[in-house]
Amino acid sequence: MTYLVTGVAGFIGFHVAQRLLQRGERVVGLDNLDSYYATALKQRRLDALKPHHNAFRFVKCDISDSAALRSAASDIAITKIVHLAAQAGVRHSIDHPEAYGKTNLIGHLNMLELARHNDALERMVYASSSSVYGANTKMPFSEDDPVEKPVSLYAASKRADELMSIAYSHLYDLPLIGLRFFTVYGPWGRPDMALWKFAKAIMQDQPIPVFNHGRMRRDFTYIDDIVSGILATVDQVPEFSNDQGHRLYNIGNNQPEELMHLIACLERELGREAMKELLPMQPGDVHETYADITRISRDYGFRPTTSLEDGVAKFVRWFKGSNAVQY
């Protein structure tokens, strides 16, 4: 059995590939190694997968290039796809909209076409986002809530991915699963995300930007829990399901935390107090996210096990030990 993992040099893709390789699976990983953040960090992730070289194959490929994508997968009997390649970043989407059309829209469409023409495919799981809920105020967010008012282009692109997937599943009987991730964090994370930025600034005695004066809540979800949920959905078939059609799931910690509590956890682990620069709300941002995980818990037994305190402690140990402050 061969798994195709897109975005394999990215934060979540790397962890998924690593877990699959550790349990003895064969993995083909695709990534375009773009410069959204340090390519050296992406290369370090790929280097960390080298001990599994006999079972891991890396192909540099931009999924928005349909011909290159078909070529990369042409000689592989792919049975399962974990599609995680995307242009990330809510705030980045405001200034660089074309990147989101290219990767998140055209790239996702190309992946659906790849799945459509792969007779051996058992299942494709793809990354959506909690951002699709926009400025909804009903908490927690449920998969049945309306998602028609995104507040960023990034959110709109992720909702478009869901709609394209629903259509392809209906037209071609494709078994597709979309996962709405809630604020993923942990070792090997992204330098543009709050936890990394805060840790780096605190260690360098620089102020940290605290938007909306800290009055924000996020359902921070540790990377190991996210990977467990991804692999459950790609590997298991719920008893009630005929494994056809399209399904959507929230995947979060089911425990929103104050932004100030995240900062306090960091301060404790780093042994330093943060210099906080209190700022107004940013365009495209939301006040709170909170995942209702009833559906994924019912269908796949998903249960997050990592508290924010433990997750931040693990992140800081990795951050210090890997000299991640350089990125």
The continuous run of DSSP H or E covering 80 comes out as strand 80-83
Query: Residue 278: beta bridge partners?
Result: 210
Q: Under DSSP, is residue 278 helix (H, G, I), strand (E, B) or coil?
A: strand
Q: Token digits for 136?
A: 């909804």
Q: Which among 248, 230, 187, 185 has a CA at the least distance from the CA of 20?
A: 230
Q: Are β-strands 80-83 and 184-185 bridged in parallel, bridged antiparallel, or unpaired?
A: unpaired
CB count in 10 Å sphere of residue 172: 13
Tokens read off for 308 = 């924010």
Closest to 263 (Cα-Cα) out of 192, 197, 191, 183: 197
Options 3, 154, 222, 290, the catalytic residue? 154
- Let me know if 246 is exposed, middle or buried by CB neighbors in 10 A (0-12, 13-18, 19+): middle
Quick one: which of 285, 256, 260 has its CA closest to 273? 260
Active site (annotated) includes residue 154? yes
Q: How many whole angstroms separate alpha carbon 156 and alpha carbon 146?
A: 13
* Residue 229, H or E segment: helix 223-235
What sign results for the dihedral spanned by CA atoms 275, 279, 282, 288?
A: positive
Q: Is 142 left (phi over 0), alpha (psi -120 to 50) or beta?
A: beta
Please list the active-site residues: 154
